[in-house]
Every structure is written in C-alpha cells, then in structure tokens.
Amino acid sequence: MDLDELYQEVILDHYKRPRGAGLREPYEGESHQVNPTCGDEITLRVHVKGDRVADVSYENVGCSISKASASVLYELVHDTTVDDALARLAEFTELMNSKGQSDGDEETLEDAVAFAGVSKYPMRVKCALLGWMAFKDALVRAEAETGGSRP
C-alpha cells in the first residue's frame, strides 16, 4: 500500500490547517451528517445569496480525510454560483467513485484532486464524502427555506 498516495501533503495540510472552519451566521440551510461506521460527524451550514453560495461554514469531528475534505470543499464552493458548486459536487463524487481510475481535473477541482488516491480505499471514500453529503443536503434545505426561488 502506498500511504503517501493516500495521505498527500495537500491533504495533511488541509487537515492541520482547515480553511473556513467554524459555524457562522447567517445561513439558510444546515445539515448534520454522521458516518455510522466510525461515528464521524459534521454540522454544515450554507448561506445562499441570490444564485451564489455566499458562505459555507462547518464544525466536524473525524479523521484526517474527512476533515481535509471539508476544508477543500469550503475552498471550492464558497463564493461561487450555486450551479458551479453543484458541478464541483458532481465532479468530486465521481472522482471518489472512480476506484483509482481517475486523476480528476485540476482546473476545476484544484486541491481536491489530491483525494484521487482515496478512491482506491473503499473504507475511506465515505470519510471523504461526508462533508459533501452535508453540503448537498444543506443546499436542498436552503432552497426549501428560500422557496426555491433560484431560476
């Protein structure tokens, strides 16, 4: 097994210095997700302003993969359009399901391509996706809250 591939510098860096961590106001949607096999948890909030994701804030307990993934998620989706955020969500999910067959597109996924190696470890894919599941759910809730007014 190639540990360096799993625990890339980028991942360890996001783990040790998580970006955008902490829960902030205002927000329209909040989601709490738990990984029942290991007890990892995240609470994640989304603040939507018009067609933009104005902020994503979160609090989590978990392993390096799940924490780094939430940090990378923050960097990718805060202050972008909802459509772009959803596209990153789809791309990242696809990368995680690639079983090591994809390198990911660095143009769009940026630091998140460091997770390509994680996709070879089925036990860890769930860790990497936990924050993204929370983001997806929080976004749905935010849209319900704001009456789904997005065009």
Partner 1 sequence: MEAVSKLDVEAIRADFPILQRRIGDKPLAYLDSAATSQKPVQVVDAMRRFTDHSNANISRSVHTLGAEATEAYEGARARVAAFIGAPSADEVVFTKNSTEAINLLAYAFQNAALDPHADPRFRLAPGDEIVVTEMEHHANLIPWQQLALRTGATLKWIGITDHGRLDLEAVPEVITERTKLVSFTHVANLLGTVNPTSQITARAREVGALVGLDASQSVPHIPVNVADLGVDFIAFTGHKMLGPTGIGVLWAKADLLDAMPPFLTGGSMIKTVTMEKTTFAEAPAKFEAGTPPIAEAVGLAAAVDYLDALGMENVRAHEKELAGYMLERLESVDGLTVIGPRVPIGRGATVSFTFADIHPHDVGQILDAEGIAVRVGHHCAKPTCDRFGVNATTRASGYVYNTHEEIDRLVAALAQVRKVFG
End-to-end alpha carbon distance in the chain: 47
Give CA–CA dist 82/36, Å, rounded.
29
Residue among 28, 30, 33, 40 that touches partner 1 (CB under 8 A): 40
Residue type, 145: E
By C-beta, is 61 or 90 nearer to partner 1?
61
Asked, as a colleague might, if the bond just before 26 is cis with ω within 30 of 0, I would say yes
Residue among 7, 52, 98, 146 that touches partner 1 (CB under 8 A): 7
Residue among 38, 86, 87, 133 that touches partner 1 (CB under 8 A): 38
Residue 63 as a binder of partner 1 (CB under 8 A): the answer is yes
Nearest distance from C-beta of residue 70 to partner 1, angstroms: 13
Length of the chain: 151
Question: Locate tokens 């955008």: which residue?
Answer: 20
Nearest distance from C-beta of residue 117 to partner 1, angstroms: 12
Residue 46 has which token pair? 């989304």
Give CA–CA dist 142/29, Å, rounded.
4
Q: Which window, 3-11, 22-30, 50-58, 138-146, contacts partner 1 (CB under 8 A)? A: 3-11
Residue among 29, 62, 104, 131 that touches partner 1 (CB under 8 A): 62
Residue among 17, 32, 51, 61 that touches partner 1 (CB under 8 A): 61
**Number of residues in contact with partner 1, rule: CB under 8 A?**
19
Orientation of helix 122-145 relative to helix 82-96, angle to 10°? 160
Asked, as a colleague might, if the bond just before 151 is cis with ω within 30 of 0, I would say no
Residues that bind partner 1 (CB under 8 A): 1, 3, 6-7, 12, 37-41, 61-66, 121, 124, 127
